Structure formats: structure tokens, C-alpha cells
Chain A
């Protein structure tokens, strides 16, 4: 509506340029929207992978701690068999 009003009050020689620009912008926006789904999916997938990696890093740290504090390791540090 706003664009229509702008078009009406505009000088006739600029109207053509305005319409071309308008349609170009609409086309670009449409293409952008069409690929949004894929982009969001990729982001989600990347985030999931990152989350998995962080969980694994945490698991590794936990295992490292377990390796240090489990009774067998503690006993070994105190000179046990």
C-alpha cells in the first residue's frame, strides 16, 4: 500500500525504475525465503553437532577424572599393587 502511494505521487519518469526495483527486491526476498528452511536446518544440524561434541568433551573430562579418583587409581598412588 505504501509502495503504491509512493508510486502514485512519484514523477512518471521514475515510476518505471521504481517498479523494476520493487519487483527485483520482491524476487530476491522470495529466493531468500525459499532457502531459509535449508539454512535453518543447516544451522540446527551444526548446533546439534556442536552440542554432541561438547557432550563428548565433557564425557572425556569425566572419564579423566574417574581415572584419577577411582579406588584402584588412588590405591596405586599410595603404593598398592
Chain B
């Protein structure tokens, strides 16, 4: 009996020892082989990660109006794998979110991502509060970009998509500065994921830099509304309007059509993202004549009193073919003023021949043709001005009246700003200042100092106040005349070169007009170019008919808005 009891006790003790050994073995296994796995699980339970995305910087116009700003938006999402009864959840969510139950159900069931499916973007506070009570439904907050001016300033401001893709405008050019820098906070959290104390922080949250443009939203609106009206009326392919300060080159307005709505870019043709004002290169036509004439007068090739024989409308010769006048006009002797007022091609061709290719080429380069202006926008084209060594007899007779040269609208506006500011070098610019998140100015663009003359001030003054005023008062730009201010300007009607064969199309034109006012002391320069107005409408296609009225309206509204004193004409 005693021996039996001892055996039982030994057996029990052995079992107990075995049990303890198994337990020790299990502990050893967990501690040495599985420790990382359980430490991870434990850490995930203890810690909560908060990724802080920086607020993208604002873009303001020169008077502090918001052109682009970011605000937080809430997205209600579902985690399909966590929802046990999708039908019930969808039915209960439907009246809260104002979405059909069937649509919610489809979203939950048909999603490939079982961890996340977006139910409603930009939900309001009440919807979020009600929706997050359901198991498997959550709310995610993210920045959303707003563009109060909408399509009016679309090409200048650009846009950022919901997925942080920038494709054009200031948003793209200054993406790095606007973006700011994010941070990640790792915190110890309680069972309800409430933060208890900080564990670790990586990065410092810094909001993006704010950008103040030279653009004036009101002037931008004037330019946009007038240009859209004409663009639609003439069923044009594209159109551009630029308004610049004559003295500083600051861009006050820049419109490119067709445009797009930056607040909703879904389904938009990507071609519309192209800013025609800086990317379209075209032969400018007669609008280039004042520049060539100014270069010729400045370097002494012609003087303002001299008369040039314009061959009665038919000028031909070996090495440069035949040159005629627009509308088969016939001119005999004309002064430089007469050539510009009547827009004589032959007169300009003869000035070009006299000047020679080197002087003309150098002059045009000084005016900034054939190279990028460097305005603060992406994708700018440099235009085309072939080296003088490649010029033929055709080049020296055609370039003075705007053929065999390609320019962008921004290059033209710079050239006319140079004329308007008395021959002084002017660089168009769009960004006036940059301000960090504390309001400190980190970059401020000052007006260029009055040094570096491209042509003599008296030549520039004469071209503006005599020749270009004559174009508006007596010549091809009569439709640009204003009652309260003396306007100067120049028309341009350029044939577009055929894409598949040699020569120019007789149906496709670029109608341009550049204008400025007041002529004595120019404040503003406006350029309007309308590409391929529909000639079949029979309403006209010339710069004087299509573009001049638009330029005049923009100019009138802008001068009134800027309170430029009226003149007694």
C-alpha cells in the first residue's frame, strides 16, 4: 500500500516536473525564437502613428486675394474585410450620406482593395460624426486644394490634383516651395487609440511657402471675360491675352484659351493645360514692324524724316522673290511713320535690306527674340530666330514684317514693354514675393533698376508717341481708340504656314493687336492674339477687326480700375 502511494506521488511529481519543463520550454521558445513577432504585436498595440501632412502654401494675387489655398477635407471610407453585414451597413449609411444604399453596397462588395474603399469625398462634419459610429467605416482627413478664381486664372495658377500631381502653372513651377515638409509622430496610445505620451517624431511639420503674384485678379477677370467673348464669337482655335505693367514688366493678367476648371479636372483634354501665352510659337506678322523699325532708327539705318519708295505695291528682285502689300494696297513714298501706320510690307522689307542681317539679328536678340523670357512658369518656348549666317535674301526682307521668325506672346509683350518704358530693358515676371508660414518675407522681387537701354529713349518715345499713336488714330488700329486716354498700338495679321506643304494658308490667320496707354506715359501694355478665327463666318480675321476691340476693352477697364488720370484728347 505504502509503495503504491509512493509510486503515485513519484508519477505525479514526474508529471508536474514534465509540465514545468514543457512550460519552461515554451517560455524559452517564445522568448528566444518568437520574441520579435510578439514585440511587434505589442508595439503596434501600444503605439499609434500620426502622419502629419503639411498645408500647401497659398497663392495670392498682388492685392492679397486668394488664387489657390488648401483646406482640410474629410473622406468617409469603408474597410470591406471588417464589415460583417454589408447590406445592413449600406442601408443604415444611405440616409446619413445621401447616397443610394445600393451604390454603397456595390462599392463595398466590388472593391478590389479589401482594406480601403472610398465612400464619400469631402463629407461634412455631421456626416463624419454619424458615419464613424459604424464598425468598418472610418473617416480620413486630407488637404484639398481650392481655386476661388476657377478657370479665369487656370493657366497661371495651375492645379494640384487630389493625388498631389501638379501639371502646370505656378503650382508646378514652385511645387517644392509650396509643398512644405511633413512629419510623423509615434505616440503611446491607450486601448481607444488616444495618445498618452510621445514616443518619437520624425521630421518637422512646416507649412509650404506662400506666393504672392503680380497678377491682379480683377484685371485677370477683365482680360478673361473680353477674350472669351471674342474667342467664342469667332470660333477660334486658341487665344491669348497678356496685360503687363509698362514700366516694370510685371504681369497683371495672363489668359490662355481654351482653359480648364482647376477645381474639377476630371475628363479634361490634357492639351488644354498648355499655356498658349508661353508655349505657342507663331510668326507674328506686322506686329513685329515697330520693333524692326525701332532697331533701324536706333542704329542709324533710316531717319524719321526720310521717305522710302514702296514700289507701288509690287516689289520683286533676285534672291527675295515678290513682296506685295496686305489687301493689295499701293504705296509710293512713305516715311517710317507712314510705313508703320499703313503697315507696309515693302517699306519694311527695304528697311531690312538697308540694315543688313547682322544689325537686324543683333537688334532682335537684344529685344529678347529667339530666347526664353524666363517668366516664372513651366514649359516656356524660346521662339525661333535663326542665326544671321543662315539667313537668305528672303529672310532679310521677310523678318522685318514678321515672317521667318517665330515668337511667343510673352516675348512680344516684353518687346513692347521695352518700347513703352523708353527703351529700357524690361523683364516680365509673375512672382512678386514669397512668404513663409510665419509671415516673414523670404523673397521679394524689386523693380528692375533703370539701367541697360536696348534702344535710345528718344527712338522708343518717337515710335510710341508718333508712329504707334498714328496706327490707332489713322491706321489699321482705329478700333482700339479710347475716349479718355490716348492709345498706341499695332495690328498684326499673320498667315499660318501650311503644315503639310510649302507656303502659307489663305484661310488660317493669327490676328494680333498690341496696345498701350496713356501714350505719353504708358502704364499698361496689352497683347491680344487670336489663333485661327473662323474665316467662314465672314466677320473678318484681321488683327484690327478681331483683336483690337478686345485689347481696347481690356485697356479701358484696366486703366479705369487702376485710376489712371484721364487725358484731354
A33 to chain B, nearest CB (A): 15
Selected interface stretch from B78-86, B190-198, B316-324, B456-464: B190-198
Q: Please, what's the 1-or-0 string for B172-204, where 1 marks a CB less than 8 Å from any CB in chain A?
A: 000000000000000100000011111000000
Q: In the complex, are the beta carbons of A56 and B72 less than 8 A apart?
A: yes
Q: In the complex, are the beta carbons of B71 and A71 less than 8 A apart?
A: no
In angstroms, Cα B148 to Cα A67, docked, is 5
In angstroms, Cα B66 to Cα A63, docked, is 8
Selected interface stretch from A1-9, A11-19, A22-30, A38-46: A38-46
Question: Is B167 an interface residue when CB atoms closer than 8 A count as contact?
Answer: no
Q: In the complex, are the beta carbons of B197 and A70 less than 8 A apart?
A: no
Q: In the complex, are the beta carbons of A41 and B69 less than 8 A apart?
A: no
Question: Is A10 an interface residue when CB atoms closer than 8 A count as contact?
Answer: no
Q: In the complex, are the beta carbons of A63 and B218 less than 8 A apart?
A: no
Query: Main secondary structure on chain A at its contact with chain B?
Result: helix
Q: In the complex, are the beta carbons of B225 and A70 less than 8 A apart?
A: no
Question: Is B149 an interface residue when CB atoms closer than 8 A count as contact?
Answer: yes
Q: In the complex, are the beta carbons of A80 and B195 less than 8 A apart?
A: no
Q: In the complex, are the beta carbons of A71 and B146 less than 8 A apart?
A: no
Q: In the complex, are the beta carbons of B148 and A66 less than 8 A apart?
A: yes
Question: Is A51 an interface residue when CB atoms closer than 8 A count as contact?
Answer: no
In angstroms, Cα B198 to Cα A16, docked, is 42
Tell me how many residues of B have a C-beta within 8 Å of chain A: 25
Q: In the complex, are the beta carbons of B149 and A62 less than 8 A apart?
A: no
B193 to chain A, nearest CB (A): 12
Q: In the complex, are the beta carbons of B148 and A63 less than 8 A apart?
A: yes
Q: In the complex, are the beta carbons of B221 and A71 less than 8 A apart?
A: yes
Q: In the complex, are the beta carbons of B229 and A81 less than 8 A apart?
A: yes
In angstroms, Cα B71 to Cα A60, docked, is 6
Q: In the complex, are the beta carbons of B71 and A59 less than 8 A apart?
A: yes
Q: In the complex, are the beta carbons of B225 and A75 less than 8 A apart?
A: yes
B residues less than 8 Å from A45 (CB atoms): 187, 195
Q: In the complex, are the beta carbons of A73 and B148 less than 8 A apart?
A: yes
B60 to chain A, nearest CB (A): 10
> B149: which of A37, A56, A70 is its contact (CB, 8 Å)?
A70
Q: Which of B220-276 contact A (CB under 8 A)?
A: 220-221, 224-225, 228-229
Q: In the complex, are the beta carbons of A81 and B228 less than 8 A apart?
A: yes
Q: In the complex, are the beta carbons of B228 and A42 less than 8 A apart?
A: no
B residues less than 8 Å from A80 (CB atoms): 221, 225
B residues less than 8 Å from A63 (CB atoms): 66, 69, 71, 146, 148
Question: Is B217 an interface residue when CB atoms closer than 8 A count as contact?
Answer: yes
Q: A70-B65, A80-B225 are in contact. Are A41 and B195 (CB under 8 A)?
A: yes
B residues less than 8 Å from A66 (CB atoms): 65-66, 69, 148
In angstroms, Cα B195 to Cα A38, docked, is 8
A75 to chain B, nearest CB (A): 5
Q: Which of A47-81 contact B (CB under 8 A)?
A: 56, 59-60, 62-63, 66-67, 70-73, 75, 80-81
Question: Is B138 an interface residue when CB atoms closer than 8 A count as contact?
Answer: no
Q: A60-B71, A80-B225 are in contact. Are A70 and B198 (CB under 8 A)?
A: no
Q: A70-B148, A73-B148, A81-B225 are in contact. Are A62 and B66 (CB under 8 A)?
A: yes
A residues less than 8 Å from B146 (CB atoms): 63, 67
Question: Is B160 an interface residue when CB atoms closer than 8 A count as contact?
Answer: no
In angstroms, Cα B72 to Cα A73, docked, is 23
Q: Beyond the given A71-B149, A81-B225, could you list 18 further A-B residue pairs with CB under 8 A, ordered by the A residue number? A: A41-B198, A59-B69, A59-B71, A59-B72, A60-B71, A63-B66, A63-B71, A63-B148, A66-B65, A67-B146, A71-B217, A71-B220, A72-B148, A72-B149, A72-B217, A75-B221, A75-B225, A80-B225
Question: Could you list some 10 contacts between A and B, CB below 8 A?
Answer: A41-B197, A62-B66, A63-B69, A70-B148, A71-B65, A71-B152, A72-B148, A72-B224, A80-B221, A81-B229
Going nearest first, the 6 A-B pairs with the smallest beta carbon separation are A71-B221, A66-B148, A72-B152, A56-B72, A38-B196, A66-B66
